[in-house]
Amino acid sequence: MIYKNSKYINNIFDNVSYKYDFFNNLFSLGLHFLWKRKLISLLKPKNGEEWADLCCGTGDMTFLLNKLVTPRGKVFGIDISEKLLKIAQKKSNNLGDTNIYWKKKDIFDLDAKSRKFDGICMSFGLRNLKNVEDGIQKVFLLLKDNGRAGFLDFNHSKENSLSSIFQKLYLRFIVVPISSLFNLKEEYSYIEKSIKEFPKGTKLIYLAKQIGFREVKYITLFGEQMGIFLLKK
């Protein structure tokens, strides 16, 4: 088990912050925007609703949500990494999306009694939480009744499947060597380890049902490289 606590995770993302968007675009060849749009299109946020983008990083999903729920609704972009949030806020000011509520906070410290959301999304966040099950439970508590949530992340595919072999080779022979040139070897090596410990789709479904979600669905994208996990309370 890799050592995961909020400080460890925070250090990783603060360290990569200056190259975060650049590497996301490079390593996914820009496809992460398509996957994020796909998640939003499945969640169908509506004008007037209140949404949270948990583990928002530099805010890609927050901006997509903001376009759909405003002018009557509200969007909160929440993340523990100060450096990534600063980048998100800067982009927000440049785009003129100044009505987004950015919050630096550990999602486990959010108070579900003071605010609940119509919808929550998390892209590439769930796998990075110190405990995945606690993360799904937290989302459950933060949602209003009938609220919906969607997660996008790497799919933990079957061991020795083509998809799993491609994922390993791509991470080991493309992602890690290129990130090493920027002294970020350790940070990007962490991705393979984190996928190994991330529950497979069937386990995620089981966990969400145990927690109490009424509707649960898991689909894969891009040759099973990515997974989208959809929940309704």
Ligand X SMILES: C[S@@+](CC[C@H](N)C(=O)[O-])C[C@H]1O[C@@H](n2cnc3c(N)ncnc32)[C@H](O)[C@@H]1O
Phi, psi of 69 (to 5 degrees): -95, -15
Phi, psi of 73 (to 5 degrees): -100, -170
Residue 220 near ligand X by CB under 6 A: no
Nearer to ligand X, 106 or 133 (CB): 106
Residue 56 near ligand X by CB under 6 A: yes
Nearer to ligand X, 13 or 198 (CB): 13
Q: How far is the CB of 22 from ligand X (least distance, A)?
A: 12
Q: How far is the CB of 160 from ligand X (least distance, A)?
A: 26
Q: How many residues bind ligand X (CB under 6 A)?
A: 21
- Which residues have C-beta within 8 Å of that of residue 61, sequence separation ≥ 6? 36, 39, 40, 53, 121, 123
Strands of 143-154's sheet in order across: 101-104, 74-79, 50-54, 117-123, 143-154, 226-232, 215-221
Residue 57 near ligand X by CB under 6 A: yes
Contact set for ligand X, span 152-191 (CB under 6 A) = none
Nearer to ligand X, 18 or 72 (CB): 18
Report how far residue 151's alpha carbon sits from residue 171's, in angstroms, rounded to the nearest whole number.
Answer: 21
Both tokens of residue 127? 């796998």
Q: Give the sign of the dihedral formed by CA 77, CA 156, CA 221, CA 231.
A: negative
β partners of residue 52: 76, 120
**Measured at CB, which residue is nearest to ligand X?**
57
Question: What is the per-residue DSSP string for 100-159?
Answer: -EEEE--GGG--TTT--EEEEEEES-GGGSS-HHHHHHHHHHHEEEEEEEEEEEE--PPT
Q: Among residues 15, 86, 106, 182, which is the contact residue for ligand X, using CB under 6 A?
A: 106
Contact set for ligand X, span 60-79 (CB under 6 A) = 60-61, 79
Nearer to ligand X, 191 or 208 (CB): 191
Q: Among residues 6, 89, 163, 220, which is the contact residue for ligand X, using CB under 6 A?
A: 6
- Cβ atoms of residues 1 and 197 within 8 Å: yes
* Contact track, ligand X, 110-139, x by CB under 6 A: -------------xxx--xx----------
Both tokens of residue 107? 């999602």
Q: How far is the CB of 61 from ligand X (least distance, A)?
A: 6
In the complex, the residues that contact ligand X under the rule CB under 6 A are 6, 9, 13, 24, 55-57, 60-61, 79-81, 84, 106-108, 123-125, 128-129
